[in-house]
Amino acid sequence: MEAHFGHTGHFMILVAGSANLDFVVRAHHIPGPGETVLGRAFETFPGGKGANQAVACARAGGVPTQFLTAMGDDAFARPLEASLREASVVLDIVRAQGQPTGVAFICVSDQAENAITVAPGANLYLHPEHLPALDGISHLLMQLEIPLATVLAYARTARKYGVTVVLNAAPMQDLPAELLDVVDILIVNEGELSALARHAGSIAQCLERTPVPTVIVTLGHRGCCARIQGAFFLQPGFAIEPVDTTAAGDTFCGSLVAALSRGADMHQALPLACAASALACTRPGAQASIPNAAEVTEFLSRQPQSDTAAIDALRTYCGLPADALS
């Protein structure tokens, strides 16, 4: 099958996924089992993987973004809707009667690491019949905080209509082969890739065992690695002082899909996505931390060119031979 990413013309991105209100406590460290930790600041932030990625798509600019989600009819839904509207996301909200809007409880350590517990609530009530018409949609971007049966149904329909299907397989769960068969672009982190491949070897070895035409692996501060029809692309990370890594992966996904929908190729899209993700780590919160296109452009203008040593180090980390890169 021929890889297809970008479209030109008047298109829209559809993000289908979760919306959660995040309850965030900052603490010296993340508590272990049975441990109580005294936290400091407490804030609420609009979040949820789907909503975060929709905001990232919209803020990246160039292509309108529609967001399909399920929320309750409660006070927790209001700040979520306001944040999405402020980012110019077109909302398609299913009201799950009698169900609370999803919430997430997040502890952020002084080292900017986080631990997250999600209560999905209304997110579990986004069903196959809720998918809108796909006329004018270039890319469908999904995650795994909504029912797997819904993800599969949406992916199958999108494939039928020639829409590029992008799946961020997070939070990780066993994925049926029938879903992977209708995914064009899979985005995972290192742990998710290993779990999906059922292999503890190198990134290169895990990618060999992952039957999706295009797989992009995010590697935190190291950057990312993409395999497209057997060709490899590497993007080293950018040096930053992290404050909060919440939504870094979501920012990467949304920024990448926005770039591809504008017609960018992978060489152009990966630096934009990595830069947006890095910037998101320098600010607190989920959607509140996601940069806009002008901020990403300005950030990239201040970065040194990736040197051969950085690319070689990343290639070695991924277990790729010297002649593997495109």
Per-residue b or e along 103-120, where b marks 16 or more CB atoms closer than 10 Å to that residue's CB: bbebbbbeebebeeebeb
- Residue 165's SS3 state is strand
- Picking from 46, 110, 103, 51, the residue whose alpha carbon sits closest to that of residue 244 is 110
Annotation marks residue 250 as catalytic:
yes
Average pLDDT over residues 46-58: 96
Q: How many domains does the chain have?
A: 1
pLDDT of res. 230 = 86
Average pLDDT over residues 103-131: 93
**Judging by beta carbons within 10 Å of its beta carbon (0-12, 13-18, 19+), is residue 144 exposed, middle or buried?**
buried
- Residue 185's SS3 state is strand
The verdict on residue 187 lying in a domain is yes
Instruction: Specify whether the CB–CB gap between 111 and 126 falls below 8 A.
Output: no
The verdict on residue 198 lying in a domain is yes
Percent of the chain with pLDDT over 70: 96
Q: Is pLDDT of 326 > 60? A: yes
**Judging by beta carbons within 10 Å of its beta carbon (0-12, 13-18, 19+), is residue 318 exposed, middle or buried?**
buried
Q: Is pLDDT of 4 > 50? A: no
Q: Range of 163's domain? A: 12-18+48-98+126-318
Peptide bond into 211 cis (omega under 30): no
* All residues at 6 or more sequence positions from 160 whose CB lies less than 8 Å from its CB, including other chains: none
The verdict on residue 83 lying in a domain is yes
Instruction: Specify whether the CB–CB gap between 226 and 29 falls below 8 A.
Output: no
pLDDT of res. 5 = 54
The verdict on residue 112 lying in a domain is no
Instruction: Specify whether the CB–CB gap between 253 and 54 falls below 8 A.
Output: no
Average pLDDT over residues 264-284: 95
Q: Which helix (H) or strand (E) holds 14?
A: strand 12-16
| 169-214 pLDDT, tens digit each | 999 999 999 999 999 999 999 999 999 999 999 999 999 999 999 9
The verdict on residue 67 lying in a domain is yes
DSSP-based helix, strand, coil % in the chain, nearest 5: 35, 25, 40
CA pair distance 317, 204, nearest whole angstrom: 9
CA pair distance 201, 317, nearest whole angstrom: 11
CATH number for 197: 3.40.1190.20
Let me know how many helices (H) and strands (E) the chain has, helices first.
10, 13
Query: CA torsion 272→274→279→284, rounded to 10°?
Result: 130
Catalytic residue among 92, 174, 250, 312: 250
The verdict on residue 6 lying in a domain is no
The verdict on residue 110 lying in a domain is no
pLDDT of res. 262 = 95
The verdict on residue 26 lying in a domain is no
Q: Is pLDDT of 265 > 70? A: yes
- Picking from 250, 240, 235, the residue whose alpha carbon sits closest to that of residue 279 is 240
- Whole-number average pLDDT of the chain: 93
Angle, alpha carbons 146-280-206 (nearest 5°) = 60
